[in-house]
Amino acid sequence: MDKWISIEEAAEYLGVNKDTVRNWIKKDSGIPANKIGKQWRFKRCELDEWVKSGKSSFQDGVD
């Protein structure tokens, strides 16, 4: 089972700045993010699928 990771960990995993991940969430890029309490959380397997789908080519972030 894939554990939840933070915005910082997701950014590192994807090779982008955490502000880019936040912008993707705000701009509805399709990034698979889940709000748990006050924090956004991600699963690596869902991020992998998002990248493979080509939806991660959404480039309106800060890098």
- Report residue 57 as tokens: 């080519």
Can you tell me the distance from the alpha carbon of 49 to that of 2, in angstroms, rounded to the nearest whole number?
13
Which of 19, 27, 29 shows the shortest CA–CA distance to 51?
29
pLDDT, tens digit, for every residue of 4-57? 999 999 999 999 999 999 999 999 889 999 999 999 999 999 999 999 988 776
CB-CB contact of 24 with 61 (8 Å):
yes
Task: Report domain extents, the chain.
Answer: 4-55
The residues, any chain, with a CB within 8 Å of residue 45's CB and separated by 6 or more, are: 2
Indicate the helix (H) or strand (E) that contains 15. Answer: none
pLDDT exceeds 50 at position 61: no
What local confidence, expressed as pLDDT, does residue 58 receive? 56
